[in-house]
Amino acid sequence: MDLLEPVTQPYAWGSHTAIAELQGRPAPTEQPEAELWMGAHPSAPSGVDRGGVHRTLDAVIAADPAGELGAECAARFGDRLPFLLKVLAAEKALSIQVHPSRQQAEAGFRAETERGLAPGDKSRNYVDDWPKPEILCAMTDFEVLAGMRTPRDTARLLRALAVPELEPLAAELDASAEPAAMTAALGSILTWDGSRAALVGAVVSACARLAASDGEYAGACAAIAKVAVDHPGDLGVVAALLLRYTVLRPGKAVFLPAGGPHAYLRGTGVELLANSDNVVRAGLTPKHIDVPELLKLTDPAAQVPVIEPRSLGGGVSVYDSPAPEFRLYHADLGPGETLLPGAGGARIVLCADGAGFLRAGQATLKVARGESCFIPASDGQVTASGPAALFIAGNGFSAG
């Protein structure tokens, strides 16, 4: 077991308080802190001290994939830890985005490489050849736009806004129950050929009006009005109308499959994803946008469920999801010993509160609030005691 040195990502939408307070550092911070990465992604691997030598986790795993990941995981994923654990802290809305499937990521990465795009080229959609399904578990109330509305529901919302420019789109959606109509509507908005400033302005005014009502769309419209403050004049503000608005309460999670359009808005949560940084964006960002590629990847019928934890007993619960690359667990520990799930594969443990005491054979390790550790497969069964609240990341294909 190794304590990790995670990497903080200072993206502009990040919080000046959440990650620092979790780690017990002074807050507010001078720069925003958006994500805390715990894992072995090659662009930002965590550090470990192994045998008195400071190394990066990806290098440790590459030296002994079977021992670190487990034989089954190494046979399936090679020398790459298949998951990446993050703390995500959003003070401003993130981009509207879609992630690729494995087949799409491999084809996209190969095509961009053959076109001569360098690995660090900012016009790349595919920075690696991995898929990026993900699960987000709320630590605070977390506002998300996740998955598409139905055509009829979208038509009702557009008509409630009473923006004349959107009436033809509302009529088209009202006439179709097919999910593909939503992709077409998204493309129409993102390639708007009229006055974009006028459209965004009219939508923002209408959202402010509906937000002040007690109607069914008040919450979504209030959220979109705040997004417009974060990203003034951006067509993504209008496109956000097509996505389902949800507030995740602490302990609830949402799973994003390949093709599921989404945008995280505000809150702090634990995110577990396949070990990739592939993001195709369509708005609400100064980063590279590729609308045609996003529309090609979008699955308007993608199921984006809100997930309740399922108890495994002993204070341990699991967030079930279909991704083979990862599985997320939560352990609410008392002073007694509890067997951690995921034995047989590599695990990363994050202490969200209290202090966890981990034991593997004769070895013990204390993981305090805001700290994380890597458990190699070779450590086998690990027990833990608290009082502590732990998130545990493991692979998604082994039992436990």
Residues 264-283: b if buried by 16+ CB within 10 A, e if exposed: bbbbbbbbbbbbbbbbbbbb
67 class by beta-carbon count within 10 Å (0-12 exposed, 13-18 middle, 19+ buried): middle
97 is in an annotated binding site: yes
Residue 193, by phi and psi: left (phi above 0), alpha (psi -120 to 50) or beta?
alpha
What's the residue count for the chain? 400
Tokens of residue 247, six digits: 């507030």
- Quick one: pLDDT band at residue 52, thresholds 50, 70, 90? confident
Mean pLDDT of 346-373: 96
What does residue 392 show for φ and ψ, rounded to 5 degrees? -125, 125
What CA–CA distance (Å, rounded) separates 205 from 201? 6
- Quick one: pLDDT band at residue 24, thresholds 50, 70, 90? very high
The pLDDT > 70 percentage for the chain reads 99
What does residue 53 show for φ and ψ, rounded to 5 degrees? -120, 130
Question: Strands 35-38 and 327-333, how do they pair?
Answer: unpaired
Mean pLDDT of 324-342: 95
- Quick one: pLDDT band at residue 398, thresholds 50, 70, 90? low
What does residue 381 show for φ and ψ, rounded to 5 degrees? -70, 135
Which pLDDT value is given to residue 120? 85
134 is in an annotated binding site: yes
Mean pLDDT of the chain: 95
Helix (H) or strand (E) holding 305: none
Residue 399 has pLDDT above 60, yes or no: no
What CA–CA distance (Å, rounded) separates 393 from 387? 19
262 is in an annotated binding site: yes
Q: How far apart are the first and last CA of the chain?
A: 19
- The separation between CA 382 and the C-alpha centre of its own chain, rounded to angstroms, equals 27
The pLDDT > 90 percentage for the chain reads 93
- Quick one: pLDDT band at residue 261, thresholds 50, 70, 90? very high
Q: Which residues are known to be catalytic? A: 281
Q: Give, in degrees to the nearest 5, the angle at Cα 333 between 376 and 387.
A: 110
What CA–CA distance (Å, rounded) separates 178 from 169? 14
Mean pLDDT of 142-162: 96
Which pLDDT value is given to residue 212? 93
> What DSSP designation does 15 have?
B
What pTM does this model have? 0.94
What CA–CA distance (Å, rounded) separates 347 from 83? 9
Which pLDDT value is given to residue 86? 98
Backbone Cα Rg of the chain: 22
99 is in an annotated binding site: yes
What CA–CA distance (Å, rounded) separates 262 from 20? 26
What CA–CA distance (Å, rounded) separates 233 from 230? 10
Report whether 95 contacts 282 (CB < 8 A): yes
| Structural domains present in the chain | 2-145+249-307 (2.60.120.10), 150-241 (no CATH), 310-394 (2.60.120.10)
- Quick one: pLDDT band at residue 301, thresholds 50, 70, 90? very high
Tokens of residue 194, six digits: 């009229």
CB neighbourhood size of 300 (10 A): 23
What CA–CA distance (Å, rounded) separates 320 from 160? 36
Mean pLDDT of 61-68: 96
- The separation between CA 35 and the C-alpha centre of its own chain, rounded to angstroms, equals 10
Residue 130 has pLDDT above 60, yes or no: yes
Within 8 A by CB and 6+ apart from 67, the residues are 376, 377, 378
Which pLDDT value is given to residue 305? 85
Q: Which tens digit of pLDDT belongs to each residue from 199-219?
A: 999 999 999 999 999 889 999
Report whether 296 contacts 302 (CB < 8 A): no
What CA–CA distance (Å, rounded) separates 59 from 37? 16
